[in-house]
Amino acid sequence: MKVLEQFEFLDDVRRMDARQVIYQFLNFCMIVASALMIWKGLMVITESESPIVVVLSGSMEPAFYRGDLLLLTNHHDEPIRAGEIVVFKIKGRDIPIVHRVIKLHEKEDGTTKFLTKGDNNRVDDRGLYAPGQLWLKREDVVGRARGFLPYVGIVTILMNDYPQLKYAVLGCLGIYVLIHRETN
Amino acid sequence: MAVLTFMCFLSTYYNDDLADVNIKVGSVQVKNVADFTTTRERKDLAIINNLGVKVDLSQVFNWNVKEIFLYLTAEYSSDVNALNQVVLWDKIVMREDAQRIDIPSVDPEYYFFDDSKGLIGNENVTLTLSWNVIPNAGRLPRVQGLGSTTVKLPSTYAHSSGRI
């Protein structure tokens, strides 16, 4: 017990009995489950596979900067129109791209093909598409920008750039939840 | 901070962001040339000279507007496609920029290429000016300006030696 005495903050843990330890652990699981539920719930409501994205490049400046957060929806009954900001995926690339639709052709049966461009880019996105691909189709779209929140996503970018930071933050949160004793 | 951001979003939620728009068109030509932007197939290309745009955005700018993305769209239907939308010109208007836009002849930024031969003799090409309001925090509404211009494209091709 000598070692433990040096860490005053562990007093809470020491005073716990087995029942309380289990309780704390379940509490922790609950938080993880709630976060997952919120994310999955948003996916259902927005019909988008990723309802929140962080802007990773400067191609839409000055509208969106690196680290800004976008809220997306992907309702399939709403047609895509020129001028809209869409988030799309290109075959063979993992990272989705946020750009604006500048040209669109829609057939009688509703199938569309369209071309995108970043506001801050001088040329359209044909160079970014897969080799030989000239147009995007509806199924390439992951979501359409509906809401905007500045700066918030910078945390995600930092965590991706410095993975140690991610583990540190997650570790601290986990330890806090596990050893912090509910006062009752 | 979060509360302040949310209030900022709420305070402008019900704005309609509308404004009157005036679009003027000079002369129009249609050519049938190789579309070098895609497959090099010959397609209809419309050229609009002296395209004038006039709009007063000062009533759209409120305290939760960072930028307005203005874009001029040509919309028409053709035999191949029920709906075609081609953005001909766009402009980023920041808060500190002139908010009364009055450009007698815009520099066209994008080629007005059809997907096949849908422009020749097309009598119903509608030009509209729309904008996407980029807030400090909140929704990203797209608004179509009040007032549009319909263009009748000529029914004969302008002479062209294969180039634009």
Is B124 inside a domain boundary? yes
Question: Which residues of chain B make contact with A61, given a CB cutoff of 8 A?
Answer: none
Note the pLDDT of residue B77.
95
pLDDT exceeds cutoff 60 at B142: yes
Find which of B36, B70, B85 to mutate to test the A interface (most A CBs within 10 Å of its CB). Answer: B85
Note the pLDDT of residue A3.
56
Q: Which residues contact B107 (CB under 8 A, 6 or more apart)?
A: B89
Summary mean pLDDT of chain A: 88
Note the pLDDT of residue A12.
66
Is B54 inside a domain boundary? yes
Give the gap in angstroms from C-alpha B21 to the nearest C-alpha of chain A. Answer: 17
Note the pLDDT of residue A34.
96
- CA-nearest residue to B130 within chain A is A83
Number of CB pairs, chain A paired with chain B, less than 8 A apart: 81
B140, A83: Cβ pair inside 8 Å? Answer: no
Note the pLDDT of residue A46.
94
pLDDT exceeds cutoff 60 at B78: yes
B5, A149: Cβ pair inside 8 Å? Answer: yes
Question: Which residues of chain B make contact with A123, given a CB cutoff of 8 A?
Answer: none
Give the gap in angstroms from C-alpha A108 to the nearest C-alpha of chain B. Answer: 5
For residue A13, what are the CA distances in angstroms to A6, A28, A55, A110, A168?
Answer: 13, 15, 41, 62, 21
Higher pLDDT, A93 or A33: A33
The DSSP letter of residue B145 is: P
User: In which region does residue A47 sit, left (phi positive, over 0), alpha (psi from -120 to 50) or beta (all else)?
Assistant: left
Taking residues A49-61, what's their average pLDDT?
A: 92
- HSE toward the beta carbon, residue B7, CA cutoff 13 A: 4
Question: Which residues of chain A make contact with B139, given a CB cutoff of 8 A?
Answer: 146-148
Question: Above pLDDT 90, what percent of chain B?
Answer: 70
Is B158 inside a domain boundary? no
Query: In which band, very low, low, confident or very high, does the pLDDT at A175 lie, cut at 50, 70 and 90?
Result: confident
pLDDT exceeds cutoff 60 at A184: no
Which of A88, A103, A145, A114 is CA-nearest to residue B134? A145
B134, A104: Cβ pair inside 8 Å? Answer: no
User: In which region does residue B18 sit, left (phi positive, over 0), alpha (psi from -120 to 50) or beta (all else)?
Assistant: beta
Summary mean pLDDT of chain B: 90
**Per-residue model confidence as pLDDT tens digits over B113-135:** 999 999 999 999 999 999 999 99
B81, A107: Cβ pair inside 8 Å? Answer: yes
A84, B142: Cβ pair inside 8 Å? Answer: yes
Parallel, antiparallel, or unpaired: how do β-strands B112-113 and A52-54 relate?
A: unpaired
Tokens 């031969």 appear where? Answer: B117
Distance between alpha carbon A34 and the CA centroid of its chain, in Å? 16
Find which of B41, B83, B127 to mutate to test the A interface (most A CBs within 10 Å of its CB). Answer: B83
Is B67 inside a domain boundary? yes
Query: In which band, very low, low, confident or very high, does the pLDDT at A19 lie, cut at 50, 70 and 90?
Result: confident
Residues of A forming the active site? 59, 99, 125
Which of B85, B111, B105, B110 is CA-nearest to residue B31? B111
d(CA B24, CA B131): 18
User: Do residues B51 and B73 make contact, with C-beta atoms less than 8 angstroms apart?
Assistant: no
Question: Which residues of chain B make contact with A125, given a CB cutoff of 8 A?
Answer: none
Find which of A104, A113, A121, A152 to mutate to test the B interface (most B CBs within 10 Å of its CB). Answer: A104
Note the pLDDT of residue B10.
84
**Per-residue model confidence as pLDDT tens digits over A29-39:** 999 999 999 99
Q: Which fold has domain A52-152?
A: Umud Fragment, subunit A (2.10.109)
Is B156 inside a domain boundary? no
For residue A144, what are the CA distances in angstroms to A47, A78, A87, A99?
Answer: 11, 10, 6, 10
Which of A92, A100, A102, A86 is CA-nearest to residue A130? A92
Is B48 inside a domain boundary? yes
DSSP per position, chain A: -HHHHH-GGGHHHHT--HHHHHHHHHHHHHHHHHHHHHHHHHHHHH--S-SEEE--SSTTTTTS-TT-EEEEE--TTSPP-TT-EEEE--TT--S-EEEEEEEEEE-TTS-EEEEEE-TT-SS-GGGTSSTT---EEGGGEEEEEEEEESSTTHHHHHHHH-HHHHHHHHHHHHHHHHHPPPP-
- Residues spanned by the domain of B106: 2-151
Higher pLDDT, A105 or A183: A105
Domain count, chain B: 1
Note the pLDDT of residue A182.
60
Query: Among A62, A83, A126, whose Cβ lies nearest the Cβ of B87?
Result: A83
| Farthest-apart Cα atoms in chain B, separation | 63
